[in-house]
Amino acid sequence: MVDMKFMLPQQQAEQFGSGEATAENIYIEYPSTMNVDDQLKDGNFTMDINNNGLKQTITMSVTNRKVKQRKV
């Protein structure tokens, strides 16, 4: 499992400043055994942010994930 918050662009994360945030479904799965052409589960992430009264919601979806062979 990997925390999807790390997929947010750094510049966007900095805009939140010292605001309060809550998140759901923050982990995306990477199975320990993967084979080429395996279809992986989708990942969905939702974060609610309150930055000094300015409320925002961020939703991110990672879909159609498939294991590919890396060419060296």
DSSP string for 9-68: -HHHHHHTTT-EEEEES-EE---SS--TTPEEPPEEEEEEEEETTEEEEEEEEE-SEE--
Strand partners, 58: 47
> Is 1 a residue whose pLDDT tops 80?
yes
pTM summary value:
0.66
Residue at 38 is within a domain: yes
Q: Indicate whether 27 belongs to any domain.
A: yes
The pLDDT tens digits for 3-50 are: 887 777 776 666 666 678 788 778 899 999 999 999 999 998 888 888
Query: Which position has the higher pLDDT, 13 or 65?
Result: 65
In this predicted structure, what is the pLDDT of residue 42? Answer: 93
pLDDT at 36: 94
Domain ranges, residue 57: 2-66
Residue 30 lies in a domain: yes
Residue 71 forms part of a structural domain? no
- Contact between residue 2 and residue 33 where contact means Cβ atoms under 8 Å apart: no
Number of domains in the chain: 1
